[in-house]
Every structure is written in C-alpha cells, then in structure tokens.
Amino acid sequence: MRDEEVQNQITLPSLFQKEIPAAPDIFDEYYSVCKEMNERWNQVTDIGDSEFTDRYKRAEYLDCANKIGDEINKRREQELRNQAEEKANAEPSTVEYEQRILETEIKIDYPTDCGTDNGAQILGSENEGEFPLHKSVFRGDMEKFTTLIEKGYDVTEKDKHGNTALHLAAMLGRKDFIRQLLEFNCPVRARNLSGWTALDEAVSYGDDYTVMKILRKQENQFYDDMMKKRREIISELENIDDFYMELQWEFRTWILGVSHFLPSDQCKIRKRGLSIRMDCTLAGFDYFKLRYKRGDVSFLFDGTSPDQTLIFMDNQAKFYVKVDFKDNSEKMTYRDVENMIKSDIEFVTMSTSRITFKRLTDWFRSDKTIGRFKANYYEVCGMKVKYRKRREHLTEQQKKKNKNEKINAKRMMWQMIQGIFTGESDSDDSKESDEEIEPVPPCQVTWEQYIGSEPGMHPTLARPTLIKEQLISVKTTIGMSKELPLPVNQFVKILEVLAPFKQFNKLREFMSMKLPEGFPVKLDIPLIATISATVTFPEFHYCSQSEEEPFPEHLFKVPEGYSYKLGGMANIF
C-alpha cells in the first residue's frame, strides 16, 4: 500500500487480514491498535466462522475502529493548533487551517461485503444512511434493494414513521418490491404509527393483484404464528388440571332496531390432558333470511396429533372439517378482493393503558351471583375504543352506498357479526355503475422530505388520505369472583388454542389485562365499533372435584359414521 493512500484513506477490511502493511510514523499508534484488533479477530475466527461471530464481532470492531479514528483526528487537530501557536507571526488563516485538518483526517470505509443479517444491516446503514432498505424502495432502486436483501437486511425494520419497507412499497405501488418482500416474509400485519398495515395501504392504492398477494401472505403468516403459539403452550397444558367450564355469549349493539337480531351462544369447554373440546349452540348464519342457525356443533383440539389442527364437527349433519385457515387463504378469489377495494378501510383499537377499576358497592343483590359463583363488581374506568375509517380509494357512489347505514343496517350488521366469528363476510352481488376512481397520482415527495418529517406526520405519498375518526368512551362493568379456582393466566392459554375466532381473541386480550383479584365471571367486551358482547361463566369445576367420571377419551375423537367435508370453514359459515 502506498504511503499517500494510507495518509488519505485507511480501509477497514485490512483489519481482518493476517498481514498488516507497514505504515508511516504518524499512524504508528493507530496501526498498533488495529494490529491488536486483527490478532483478536483471527483468534475468534480460528474457533469457527459462525454467523454469530460474523454478525456481531465485525460490527464491534467497526465501532472500535471508528472511535480510534476519532481519537487520532482529535490529536492531529491539536497538533496543528500547537504548531500554529509556535509560529506567532505566521499563524495560518482559518481556511488554510481547516483545509489542513481535512487533508489529514482519517477516513474509514465501512465494508459492505462482510457480515450477514443484522451485521450486514449495521454495516450497510452506516454506509448508506438511515434505513437503506426503505430508501431503495422509496427511490425504486432495485439494484441496491436486491443487494441489501441478499445480504440479509432485516425486512422487519420500521422507520421513524413506523413503516416497514412493505408499507412504502404498497403506498407507492411498487409491485416488484412487494413481491420480493413477501418472498422474504416481511410482516404484513405490522402497523405503522398511524395504525395502518401494508394491506390497508395496498387497498388504498387499489391494485387488486397486489391486494390478493398481500392478503394471502397475511393469512399464511397468521396461520404460522398461530401454530407456533400452539406448540409453545402444549407443554403448559399438561400443568393445567382437567376441567369442565360453561360460558355464555350475548351480543349487543346501540343501533336501534338491530339489537334483537343479534345472536347469543352457550359454550361448554372440556379439557383432558392435551385435548380440548368446545360444544356450541350457534351453528352458523342464514345470510339471505338474516337469522342465525341454532344447532349442535363441536370443536376438537388434539395436542398429541402432529398437525395440532382444530376440527369442526356438526353433530346433527354428522360431518367434520379441519379448520385450515391457511388453505382458505389460497381459495380467496378476486371477487373477494374487489369487495375489499370497494369497502371502507377500518381499524378499531381498544385503549387499555389508562384503565382503572372502581369497586361498586350498591350493586343489585340478585346480580351478585353468576351461576354458583359470588362476585364483586367493578366499574371499568378509562376504557376507550378508537374507530378509524379511510375511504380515499372509493368512488362517490361507493361512499354513498357505504354511508347509507339506515337502509342497510340489518344486512350490514349481519355482515359484521359473520366477520366476528369467521373473519369473512358475504359478497355483495348488487350491480354498480362503471364509475372508476381516479388513478393514483405520481409521488411528488422526496426521500429527504419523507424521512425528515416528524414521526407519523410524513407527507402523503399516494392518494390524499380521507380519514374519519371516532373516539368512544366505553362504560362497562366486570364481575370478579374468588370462588372460581382456575387462574386467569391458565385460561388465557386455553384461549390461545381458539385464536382463529375473533370473539375469543377479544376475550383473550381483555383477560390479559391486569384485573382485580379473582376470575372474571362476568364482563362486557367491545368487539367492533357498534357491537359488544357480555360474557358470563356460570359453571366450572375440576374433574377431581366433580362427582362425575373423568371425561371419556371418545369425547375428544371424531365419532364413527361422521363424513369428512372438504373446503375448510368457508363451507360452514
């Protein structure tokens, strides 16, 4: 290496070579430290070229080298100051002085060709500035994007606005970037600071192909996460004693004329070893007659089976179905996607950070007992439900149609109820005019403007957003009983098994809060903006405390004579 090259620039890859080139005297101290670092590095790499070593040790040495460079620069600056002071009548001008500092300043080139995964992200981000993956997507730089992806850059990273790279790709309609990010399993359900997902942004952009791809990946990721959680709780189920429990659901709404159409349900849960059985009385929905169907249905979970799937049984029709939500995602049609693009984008959150519980002392005596359990009642204070709706992607006709809730209240309410249970809603076959939404305008925002804006307040990248917000203070009560012996955290684990059904997900979220002492034998849960559910637990006992015989094994198996039905949950509800 030539002396002038050493003086002008010291490249960091030399730290990881076994031979350190000779250096001028002025850099002796710097090179002595680098040589020591290099020897330590070789000792580490002799042990093995593990990914852990590659990721973290190189990044550690980069930080150390950077500090060394800063220290040398400070010493060189001080040396120039001393020289200037010695020459009283020949002090260099400010410009000349600053130029000499710049000429002798040590520069460090961060190598982007070493490290993987998070290590590469550390190296790359230092060389490229903040959020290089986001930047490449924003600017449409596929070459840089591909390089970062192949180096293992973290696709889950969020920028200062809470956006993943997939968020930006969806906002800007960059299909090639979306495809690659989905292949690398970029999280679809991640929300930005405004509460929107990449799927929401894709719906706003309005490209049906993109919405379909993201929607399928979202369902697959949900399924994978659900199965991972199930595997984690299998061992914990063994620590929960076998039990029998009853719980009742009663759905309510504040919309006049609709409340009496809402269903109720009675569930019986049996737990035996690693198996769970839940019997229900709500069998499904008749969308055209707008009424729910009573029946005798069961859900079985066998923690000892390899696939650990839920099984749905119709005990009247004598058939069973594997609840395979991953399979359902592959059967989604462009008709489903078209309905999404023609609908409002909705997001409902329940704020629980400031919730407090106020003990009620003047409760009616007749309501103090739920089933055979005495309860103490509390007012839940500080609960707020935030309802947000976007509609910038809709035509004027679609906006009017979605807004006409008085005419369609009954049918729309039924769609919401169906969505609570299955996450799906029936298609609308009504004909619409050929009115089309205006195409998305080209983005007029630069990367610097985007990344330089206040968190969550970046300029609009696509369509100007049209958002309606509503904050509702929820007044509700909860009844806690010390007589129901099941710990709340154990019941939450049981609910993890039933996670595909949204009403149980909401129940799990509510019961995961820091509740007063006891078990919540009665509670009101907001499900969506207009519907809440009252849940009661009138019966519970452990098998060892019951006079009944322990549950026979056949209760947790599909009975003989039941036929298997293809098609997943879509053919049931």
| pLDDT at residue 29, as a whole number | 52
> Can you give the pLDDT at residue 346?
83
pLDDT above 70 for 293: no
Q: Range with the lowest mean pLDDT among 162-171, 199-208, 409-418, 430-439? A: 409-418
Q: Which of 204, 225, 246 is the last residue of a domain?
A: 225
- Rounded CA-CA distance 486/511 in Å is 13
Verify that 86 and 28 share a domain, yes or no.
Answer: yes
Q: Which residues 6+ apart lie within 8 Å of 463 measured at CB?
A: 204, 205, 392, 393, 440, 441
In the block, which residue shows the tokens 């970046």? 458
Q: Do 79 and 154 share a structural domain?
A: no
Q: What are phi and psi of 248, to 5 degrees?
A: -125, 140
Proportion of the chain above pLDDT 90, given as a percent: 27
What is the rounded average pLDDT of the residues 544-570?
75
pLDDT at position 410 is 47
Write the CB contacts of 429 (distance below 8 Å, at least 6 apart in sequence). Answer: none
Instruction: Centre a 10 Å sphere on the Cβ of residue 441 and count the other Cβ atoms it contains.
Output: 11
Q: Are 99 and 182 contained in the same domain?
A: no
Least confident range from 57-71, 87-101, 250-264, 327-341: namely 87-101
Question: What average pLDDT does the segment 81-92 reach?
Answer: 51
In a shared domain, residues 138 and 211: yes
d(C-alpha 357, C-alpha 355), whole Å: 7
What is the DSSP code (8-state) at residue 403?
H
Q: Does residue 84 fall inside a structural domain?
A: yes
> Would residue 552 be called left, alpha or beta, if left means φ above 0 and alpha means ψ between -120 and 50 degrees?
beta
Give 109's pLDDT tier (boundaries 50, 70, 90). Answer: very low
Tokens of 130: 């903040």
Q: Do 171 and 82 share a domain, yes or no?
A: no
Q: Is residue 280 part of a domain?
A: no
Please indicate, yes or no, whether residues 98 and 58 belong to a single structural domain of this protein: yes
Residues 60 and 157 in one domain: no
pTM for the model: 0.66
**Which residues are bridge partners to 564 per DSSP?**
320
Question: Structural domain of residue 169, as residue ranges?
Answer: 130-225
The pLDDT assigned to 537 comes to 95
Q: Is the pLDDT of residue 11 over 50?
A: no
Structural domains in the chain (count) = 2
Q: What's residue 350's pLDDT?
A: 76
Q: Which two tokens stand for residue 270?
A: 């049996």
Q: CATH no. for residue 151?
A: 1.25.40.20
Q: Within a domain: residue 165? A: yes
Comparison of pLDDT for 475 and 450, the residue scoring more? 450
Domain-ending residue, one of 198, 225, 252: 225
Do 139 and 100 sit in the same domain of this protein? no
Q: 19 and 90 share a domain?
A: yes
Say yes or no to pLDDT of 148 above 90: yes
- Is 523's pLDDT higher than 70? yes
Tell me which H or E stretch contains 568: none
Residue 204 · residue 393 · CB < 8 Å:
yes
Residue 369 lies in a domain: no
* Shared domain check, 7 and 105: yes
Q: pLDDT by residue (tens digit) across 540-553?
A: 999 875 555 678 88
When mean pLDDT is compared across 24-33, 86-95, 387-396, 516-525, the lowest value belongs to 86-95
Same domain for 16 and 52?
Answer: yes
Evaluated on CA atoms 333, 339, 342, 348, the torsion sign reads negative
Contact (Cβ atoms closer than 8 angstroms) between residue 508 and residue 214: no
Q: Does residue 565 belong to any structural domain of this protein?
A: no
Residue 540 domain-assigned? Answer: no
Specify if 288 maps to a domain: no
Instruction: With residue 321 as reference, give the H or E element that holds it.
Output: strand 319-323
pLDDT one-digit tens code per residue, 498-515: 755 666 777 888 888 889
156 and 218 inside one domain? yes
Domain final position from 192, 225, 258: 225
pLDDT of 572 > 80? The answer is no
Which has the minimum average pLDDT: 117-126, 148-157, 528-537, 550-559?
117-126
Asked if residue 207 belongs to a domain, the reply is yes
pLDDT digits (tens, 9 = 90+) for 307-324: 767 888 999 999 999 876
DSSP 546: S
